[in-house]
Each structure stands twice: as structure tokens, then as C-alpha cells.
């Protein structure tokens, strides 16, 4: 089983569990769009924590935002409210949520060389999504690459949560774990973009 297949199986199991947990919310009449907006608000609050250096709390809220972002689709399926506009709204707000977090990080690192690392990570993250959307519009529908949005969210959240307990052993650089996480994100997102371009070229060549 390759990485893509393993990822697909993990996502399938996760959503299966999520749908079981969402039934109480469905019974209370909570709408998918309300959960989508709630997830966006969590991302905005996360960005504020990051902007003022509260990395651990920023990571917790970012992780909660990601979990909430998966809840709306589960509720939509359970209630039969899945619509194309709902999918469009979800994808659009996902981009806003990601921008919020990066803007918070850019504010925090505005006077540091890490500012440019965050810019590179932001560029890579945007282009990962863009190349996928553009390739699909041209006929290439394979979703490949390591740093898709769930992986990006998990990586940044993990780096945020591990930063405090590990960073205390490095008083000369207490944020080194988180900074290293952002460097890895910047590198891997842009590698994913190149990977998608190369594979997209192969797919599109077969349809011409």
C-alpha cells in the first residue's frame, strides 16, 4: 500500500468515526454551515494567539479548528444537506482560515529572518491548493503529494504543542522546535507543488 492509499484509508476511518460522534449535534439541528463558520472563528483566534507569541495556545486552537472543519462535512452527509455551494463555501473559508494563521505568524516574526520562512510556507501552501484546483479543471484529477491541508494543519499544530515542553531544554532558543516546524513546512509544501506539477504533466499528456 502506497502513501496515497494509506492516507485514503485513514481519512475514511476518521470520517466513519466522526459521523458516529456527530449524531448528537445532528439531533440538535446544528447546520453544517454553522460548524464551518465556527471553525473559521477558531482559526482567527488561533492567529491572534500566534501573533502575540502564545504558540502553545495557538496550536491548540488550530487543532480544534481543523477538527471542526471535518465536522461540517460529516453533519452535511448525515442530514442530507450536502450541496455544491456548501462544498464551495467550505473550501473558500478554508483558505481564509489558513491565511489568518499565516498572517498571525507574519506579525509575530515581522522583525526576524523567520518572516521570510513564513512567507515561503504561505506561498507553498497556497500553490499546493492552486495546482490541484487548476489541474482538475484541465482534466487531471489525481490528488497527490505529502503536504495537503490536513498534513499542514497537523504539522503546525504538533510543532506548536511540542514547542513548550521541548523548548525549555534549550533556553538559548526556546522556540526552535516551532521554527524548525515552519522551515519543514516551507520546504515540503513547495516540494509538493513541484511534485504535483510533474505528475499533472504526465496525466494531461495522456489526455491530449
* pLDDT digit string, tens, across residues 169-204: 777 888 899 999 999 999 999 999 998 888 888 777
Residue 7: its H or E element: helix 3-21
Q: What pLDDT is recorded for position 152?
A: 93
**Average pLDDT taken over every residue of the chain:** 84
- Phi and psi for 128 in degrees, rounded to 5? -60, -45
C-alpha cell, 170: 534549550
3-state class (DSSP) for residue 81: coil
Q: How far apart are CA 178 and CA 184, in angstroms?
A: 10
Residues 15 and 82: their CA atoms lie apart, in Å, by 15
What count of Cα atoms within 13 Å lies in the side-chain half-sphere of residue 102? Answer: 22
CA distances from 185 to 75, 119, 145 (A): 31, 11, 13
H or E, element range at 127: helix 114-138
119: CB partners within 8 A, 6+ apart: 106
Residues 72, 33 contacting (CB under 8 angstroms): yes
CA–centroid distance for 163 within its chain: 19
Confidence of residue 2 (pLDDT cuts 50, 70, 90): low
3-207: CATH topology is: 1.20.120
pLDDT digit string, tens, across residues 66-98: 888 887 777 777 776 677 787 788 888 889 999
Amino acid at each position: 500500500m502506497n502513501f496515497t492509499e494509506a492516507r485514503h484509508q485513514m481519512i475514511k476511518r476518521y470520517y466513519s468515526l466522526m459521523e458516529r460522534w456527530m449524531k448528537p449535534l445532528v439531533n440538535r439541528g446544528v447546520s453544517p454551515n454553522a460548524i464551518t463558520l465556527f471553525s473559521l472563528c477558531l482559526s482567527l483566534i488561533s492567529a491572534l494567539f500566534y501573533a502575540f507569541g502564545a504558540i502553545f495556545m495557538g496550536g491548540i486552537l488550530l487543532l480544534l479548528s481543523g477538527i471542526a472543519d471535518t465536522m461540517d462535512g460529516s453533519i452535511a452527509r448525515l442530514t442530507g444537506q450536502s450541496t455544491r455551494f456548501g462544498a464551495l463555501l467550505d473550501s473558500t473559508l478554508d483558505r481564509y482560515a489558513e491565511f489568518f494563521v499565516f498572517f498571525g505568524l507574519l506579525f509575530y516574526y515581522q522583525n526576524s529572518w523567520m518572516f521570510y520562512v513564513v512567507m515561503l510556507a504561505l506561498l507553498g501552501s497556497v500553490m499546493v491548493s492552486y495546482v490541484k484546483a487548476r489541474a482538475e479543471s484541465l482534466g487531471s484529477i489525481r490528488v497527490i503529494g505529502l503536504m495537503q491541508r490536513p498534513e499542514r494543519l497537523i504539522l503546525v499544530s504538533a510543532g506548536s504543542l511540542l514547542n513548550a515542553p521541548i523548548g525549555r531544554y534549550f533556553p538559548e532558543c526556546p522556540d526552535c522546535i516551532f521554527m524548525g516546524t515552519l522551515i519543514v513546512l516551507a520546504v515540503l509544501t513547495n516540494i509538493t507543488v513541484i511534485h504535483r506539477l510533474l505528475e499533472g504533466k504526465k496525466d494531461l499528456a495522456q489526455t491530449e
